[in-house]
Amino acid sequence: MKKITFLLMLSVIVFNVSTYAQKAINSVHLYDIKNEAMEKTYIAGLKEINTIMAEIGFSKNYYSYLKLNASDTTKTYRSCTIGHWTSEKDYKTIHDHPKFKEWATKYKDINAVFIADQLYRRFYVVE
């Protein structure tokens, strides 16, 4: 029940954040991070890709990292990355860009920590 409540609350947040753009998309990644050192490396990687996206002309597209409060007793999906995308076209262009692919290769081993146990969804603004 906690998981469903958490996902519903997250969905509300995603839709509220994305209402600025009619065709906005939010990708939501829920996962667990094994330790604090990995979390710092992961956050550094997100900052790097956000900088790259701005450099290639997509500064309104970015990733946000969130995590549950330490007092929350939920056992799984304690961390969340939200990708904020202005459109399906921009999402595809960014992910197909050589600099994005280079970054993805560089962080492949680090990001693989999250992929096996990750819950991933793409949410679209309801018009």
User: What mean pLDDT, rounded, does the chain reach?
Assistant: 83
Is it the case that residue 117 has pLDDT exceeding 70? yes
Q: Which domain holds residue 44?
A: 2-124
Strand, helix or coil for residue 74: coil
Where residue 88 sits, what CATH number does that domain have?
A: 3.30.70.100
pLDDT digits (tens, 9 = 90+) for 44-59: 999 999 999 999 999 9
pLDDT bucket at 71, cuts 50 / 70 / 90: very high
Q: Where are the beta strands (DSSP E) in the chain?
A: 25-31, 62-67, 79-85, 119-124
C-alpha to C-alpha distance for 71 and 58, rounded to whole angstroms: 36
Residue 93's pLDDT is 97
Question: Could you say which DSSP state residue 104 is in?
Answer: H
Total tally of structural domains belonging to the chain: 1
Q: Is 109 exposed, middle or buried (0-12, 13-18, 19+ CB in 10 A)?
A: exposed
